[in-house]
Chains A and B, each alone.
Chain A
Amino acid sequence: MAQMTLPGWFKEARGAPCAAGGRSAQRSFVEKNLARFNSFTKEVLEPEEYSKKRGLLQWITPKARIAGIFFMIAAAGLSTNAYALSGAVFLTALLTAFSGVGFSALAKRVWPAVVFTLVIISPVFFSFFTPGERLFGVSAGPFEAAVTREGVLSGLFFVTRAASMVSLAALLLLTTGQTEFFRGLAGLPVPRFFVTALYMMFRYVFILLKVAEDANLALKSRTAGRARIKESQQWFSSRAAMILRKSLNAAEEVSMAMASRGFDGKIKTLRGPGLAVRDYIWLAGALFILFLSFGLSS
Chain B
Amino acid sequence: MHIPDGYLSPKTCAAFYAAIIPVWFIASKRVESSLDKVKGLPLLSLGAAFTFVIMMFNIPIPGGTSAHMVGTTIVAAVLGPWASVVALSLTLALQAFLFGDGGITTLGANCFNMAFLMSFSGYYVRKALSAGSPSAFRSFAASAVAAYAALNLAALAAALELGIQPVIAHSLDGRPLYAPYPLGVALPAMMIPNMVFLGPVEALGTALALSYILKTGGVLYKERGGLRHLWVLLAVLIALVPLGLLAAGTPWGEWSREEFSRLVGYVPQGMQSVPGWKGFFPGYSAPWAAGGYGKAAFYALSALGASVVSVFLIYLWGKIWRR
Contacts and interface: CB of A to CB of B under 8 A. Distances in A.
Given A173-B97, A255-B36, A197 B211 contact: no
Given A77-B10, A78-B10, A202-B94, A29 B213 contact: no
Contact of A233 (B48, B59, B306): B59
Contacts of A259: 38
Given A154-B180, A200-B45, A204-B46, A275 B318 contact: yes
Interface stretch (B202-210, B232-240, B242-250): B202-210
Contact of B13 (A77, A243, A265): A77
Instruction: Give the size range of A's interface with the partner.
Output: 35 or more
B42 interface: yes
Given A166-B4, A181-B98, A208-B49, A236 B93 contact: no
A233 B56 contact: no
Contact of A162 (B6, B36, B212, B213): B6
Instruction: Identify which of B4, B5, B13, B304 gathers the most chain A CB atoms within 10 Å of its CB.
Output: B5
Given A29-B58, A166-B5, A124 B180 contact: yes
A166 to B, nearest CB: 6
Interface string A258-290: 110001110100010011000010011101101
A209 B46 contact: no
Contacts of B226: none
Contacts of B304: 288
Contacts of B36: 255
B322 to A, nearest CB: 7
Contact of A240 (B32, B43, B212, B310): B212
Interface string A228-264: 0100111011111101110110111011001100011
B141 to A, nearest CB: 15
A259 to B, nearest CB: 5
Nearest 3 CB-CB pairings of A with B? A265-B37, A237-B208, A162-B6
Interface of B: 4-7, 10, 13, 24, 28, 32, 36-50, 52-54, 56-62, 64, 66, 71, 74, 78, 86, 90-91, 93-94, 96-100, 103-105, 171, 175-178, 180, 204-205, 208-209, 211-213, 216, 218, 284, 299-300, 302-304, 306-308, 310-311, 314-315, 318, 322
